Structure 1
Amino acid sequence: MEERAWRIAGGAALLDGALRRADLALAEGLVAEAAPDARLLDARGLLVLPGLVDIHGDAHERSLQPRPGIGFPVDLALRDTATQLLGCGITTAYLGVTLSWEPGLRSLETWRLLMAALDAARPGLAPDLRVHLRFEADNLDALDDALADIAAGRVHLLGFNDHTPSIVRKLGSEKEVAKYAGRAGMAPAEFRVLAERVAARRGEVPAARERLAAAARAAGLPMLSHDDASLEDRAHYRGHGARICEFPMAEAVAADARVHGEAVVMGAPNVVRGGSHLGWASAAPLAERGLVTVLASDYHWPALLEAPFAMARRGRMDLAAAWALVSANPAAAAGLGDRGALRPGLRGDVVVVDPAGPSVVAVFSAGRLAQLTAAGAARLG
C-alpha cells in the first residue's frame, strides 16, 4: 500500500450519478478537490468508480475451510481474504460470519478465533473489513458472546438467521445430513442427536432474539432479516428494528419492504447466473423495478463487480444506476455516510476498471494504492 496524493486522470468517472470524463484527486485518504504534487495514474479508456461495498459475503469460509473438515489458520485465511477482496474491487467488506450451534466452521470457537484475528490484522489490511454477525436463532449457548461483542464494537451489522427448522426437516436425508455433518466435523449420527437437542430448546428463542435486538439498538447497529418467507416474517423482524430485508423468498416480501422504505438485498451471483440457484426470485428484474436496492457477493466475491455490467447489458438500467446497487446503496443501508460516491470529503475508495473485461486495473482504499495490475503499473506517471 502506498500513501500519497494521487491524480487519476482522463477516465470516465462516476460523478453525481453519471459517467463523464474527468480527473479525480485523492489526498489525505479522501477524495479531494485537487491534489498538488500528486502522482499520476493515466485512466484514459478506463472507468473510475466508487469502491464496492459488500454488505454480505461469506466466501472467506473457503479460506478457513477449503474442504469439509480441513481447516487453516485464521490469520492466513484473513490475509487471503483481503487479497481476494481487493482483486475484485471490494474496498468495504462485511464478512458474513455465521455463529451457529454447529461445531467446526461456524462454531463459537471459530467465532472467537476470528474476532481476535480481525482485531490483530485490521491495521495491516487495506480493505475495511467489518463483521456481519449472522446469528443462528437457536444458538442459545453463544448468546452471551454475541452480546459482549456487540457491546465491544466488534460487530457492525446484525443479521437474524433461522435455519434450524429447515435443518431439522432434512434429518431424514442421508445426503443432507452428511453435508451438514462434514461441515461440522462430526459423524452423521452425532449431528442428528445434536440438532434434535438444539431444536428441543426452541421455546427460548424469542427472548434471546429480543435481547440481541435490544443490544443492537443500544449500539446503533443496522439489523437485517434473512430469508423472509412471508409478510409476517418481515413484520416480525421490522418490529425488532431490522430495516434491511435480505434475500426475500417472495416478491411480495420485497415489495412490502420497499413500501416501508427498507433496503432489499439479493445476491450478485443471482444476477450474473441469470437466476437463483435455489429457484427463488430472480434479482435482476426486481432491481430494474426498484424492488431490490442492494446486491451482495453472497458466496462469490467476483460476482459483485460483474453484476452491474450484467445489469447494464440487459438494457433496462445504465451502468451508473447499476453501480449504485453495489456501492452507494449498500453504504447507505449500512449507515456508512462517508463512502459509496466520488465526492470531495468522502473516503478515497476507488476502483479503476477496464470495461472490456470487466477487470480491475487499480484499487485505492482510503486514498492509498492497494491493488495494481501489470496493466495498471504501465499507466503510472
Structure 2
Amino acid sequence: MEQRPWQITGGTALLEGALRAADIALAEGAVAATAPPGARRIDASGLLVLPGLVDLHGDAHERGLQPRPGIGFPAEMAVRDTAAQLLASGITTAYLGVTLSWEPGLRSLDSWRALMAALDAARPALAPDLRVHLRFEADNLDALDDALSDIATGQVHLLGFNDHTPPILARMDDPKQVAKYAGRAGLSAEEFRALITHVAARRDRVPETRARLAAAAAKAGLPMLSHDDATLADRALYRGLGARICEFPMAEAVAEDARAHGEAVVMGAPNVVRGGSHLGWASAAPLAERGLVTVLASDYHWPALLAAPFAMVRRGRMDLAAAWALVSGNPAAAAGLADRGALRPGLRGDVVLVDPAGPEAVAVFCAGRLAHLTAAGAARLD
C-alpha cells in the first residue's frame, strides 16, 4: 500500500480502445506519461494491463452481514471482507448496493446506520473506492428523513429507486417465499404478513416520497437510476424524476426506450457468465452486443464482473476492448466519474493486471498504490 511510483512493463495494455504492447507508469496516484526515477517495476509479460473495474451495483456484501437468515455479524467485519473480495476481483471502484427497506433485519434502518458508520471508519485504510448506492424501497416512509440527511451530507453517491412491495405482495400465497422474506427480516411468517399489509396501506404516500428523494439527489448532484422497470410507463416515470440510468429492465422494449433517450442500461454480469438470467428474464449478452446494454454490474457475485468481458469475447461478436468498456469506462461515465475507466495520463491510477487464462487478477493498483498481489504476482516484482 506504499505510495511510490510504479512501472508496469512488458504487458498488453488497453489504450484508446485497443490492446497493444505498452508499459504503464503510475505516479502520485495517477497514470503518468513516463515513469519517474526510482519507480518500482512489476513484470506484466503475458498479462493484460487494464483499467480497474467500476461496479455500479454489487450487494454481495450482504452475505458478510448475514451469511445465514437471522445470523448477523458486525458491519466492520463485513466491510473488511468486502474490500478484500473486491480487490481479488479487480474491482477498484464499488458502489455497494445497500437496500434501505421497510423490512427489519438485514435491510433495516438500523443496519443501514451501522453500515454507514462502518464505512466512514474504514475508508481511510481501504484501497478500493467504496461508494454507496442507496437502494431506497418506495414504501420505506419511516426512513425517509435518514435518507435525505445522508444524501445531503455526502454519504450517498448513487440513488436507486426500488419498489419491491408489489412483487412481494404477489408472493404471499407461497409459503416458501413468505418463509424466505420472514427469515431475512427475523420475523415469523404471521408477523411478516402483518407488516407488509401495514406497509401496503400507505402506498398513496409513495409519489411524494420519491419526489423528495429525487429533489435531494438532484441538489447533491447525484446520479439516479431506476430498478426493474417493467414497462415504458415505469421508465418514463423515473426519467421524469431525473433517473438517467435504467437498471435491470424487465423487457427489451424498456431497454430500447432507454437507449433511444441516450440513457445507460445496466444488467448483471452473472447473467452473462451463466449464459442467462437466474430469474428467467432477458439474456444480457446478446443485448450488450446490440448496444442495448451498456453497463454490466456484479449484482450478487463480485467475481462475475471480471469474468463477464471474457465470456463476451468467447461469444465471438465483441472484442475485449469493447467488452471491457462494459465494466470500466461505461459505468464510470454513467456515474459521472470522469477521472477513471481508462489508462490515460492524468487519470486515477486504477489498474488491474489480468491473467486471461483464468481470468484472474494477478495484481491490482488503486489510485497508484499496489493493493492486491497474488503469489504469482509477487514473483513478478523487481
TM-score > 0.5, shorter chain as reference: yes
| Aligned match of 1:153 | 154
Residue 217 of structure 1 aligns to a residue in which SS?
helix
Match of 2:311 in 1: 310
Partner of 2:359: 358
Instruction: Determine whether 1:208 maps to 2:209.
Output: yes
2:11 corresponds in structure 1 to: 11
2:320 aligned with 1:319, yes or no?
yes
1:166 aligns with 2:173: no
Aligned equivalents of 2:209, 2:322: Cα separation in 1: 40
Q: Which consecutive segments of 4 or more residues in structure 1 shift more than 3 A?
A: none
Q: CA deviation at 1:171?
A: 1.2
Q: CA deviation at 1:190?
A: 0.3
Find the counterpart in structure 2 of residue 221 from structure 1.
222
Q: Alignment partner of 2:160: what SS?
A: strand
Q: Distance in 1 between matches of 2:167 and 2:80?
A: 34
In the alignment, does 2:34 pair up with 1:31? no
Taking the aligned partners of 2:223 and 2:319, their CA distance within structure 1 comes to: 29
So what's the TM-score if we normalise by structure 2?
Answer: 0.99
1:347 partner SS: coil
Query: What are the superposed Cα offsets for residues 143-191 of structure 1, whole Å, 9 maximum, x if unpaired?
Result: 0000000000000000000000111111121110000000001111000
1:252-274, Cα deviation, whole Å (9 max, x unpaired)? 00000000000000000000000
Matched residues in 2 for 1:302 and 1:355: separation?
14
Asked whether 1:183 is paired with 2:181, we answer no
Q: How many residues align?
A: 381
Q: Secondary structure at the match of 2:10?
A: strand
TM-score by length of 1: 1.00
Query: What CA RMSD, in Å, does the superposition of the two structures yield over aligned residues?
Result: 0.5
Secondary structure in structure 2 of the residue aligned to 1:363: strand
Hey, what's the Cα distance between the residues in 1 that align with 2:357 and 2:121? 38
Matches within 5 A, 1:282-301: 282-301=283-302
Q: Does 1:347 align with 2:374?
A: no
Q: Which position in structure 2 is the counterpart of 1:255?
A: 256
Q: Distance in 2 between matches of 1:169 and 1:204?
A: 20
The yes-or-no answer on 1:279 pairing with 2:280 is yes
Which AA in structure 1 matches 2:9? A
CA shift digits 1:80-138 (9 cap, x unpaired): 00000000000000000000000000000000011111111100000000000000000
User: What is the alpha-carbon distance in structure 2 between the residues aligned to residue 137 and residue 147 of structure 1?
Assistant: 14
Q: In the TM superposition, what is the alpha-carbon distance from 1:2 to its structure 2 partner?
A: 2.3
User: CA offsets per residue over residues 208-230 of structure 1, 9 Å max, x none?
Assistant: 10000000000000000000000
Which residue number corresponds to residue 329 of structure 1? 330
User: Matched residues in 1 for 2:79 and 2:47: separation?
Assistant: 30
- The corresponding residue for 2:138 is 137
The alpha-carbon deviation at position 42 of structure 1 amounts to 0.4
| Counterpart amino acid of residue 315 in structure 1 | G
Q: In structure 1, what residue type is equivalent to 2:270? A: P
The residue number in structure 2 matching 1:56 is 57
1:262-319 per-position Cα deviation (integer Å, ceiling 9, x unaligned): 0000000000000011111100000000000000000000000000000000000001
What are the ranges of 5 or more consecutive residues in structure 2 without an aligned counterpart?
none
Cα displacement (A) at 1:321: 0.6
Aligned to 2:121: 120
2:76 paired residue number:
75
Partner of 1:374: 375
Shift of 1:239: 0.2
Deviation per CA, 1:326-377: give whole Å up to 9, x if none. Answer: 0000000000000000000000000000011111100000000000011011
* Letter of the 1:2 counterpart: E
Amino acid paired to 1:28 = E
Structure 1 spans left out of the alignment, 5+ residues = none
Question: Which amino acid in 1 is paired with 2:3?
Answer: E
Q: Distance in 2 between matches of 1:377 and 1:220?
A: 41
Q: Alignment partner of 1:96: what SS?
A: strand
Matches of 1:269 and 1:356, distance apart in 2: 19
User: Which whole-Å CA distance do the structure 1 matches of 2:375 and 2:3 have between them?
Assistant: 19
What residue identity is the alignment partner of 1:212?
Answer: L
**What secondary structure is seen at the aligned counterpart in 2 of 1:55?**
strand
* One-letter amino acid matched to 1:25: A
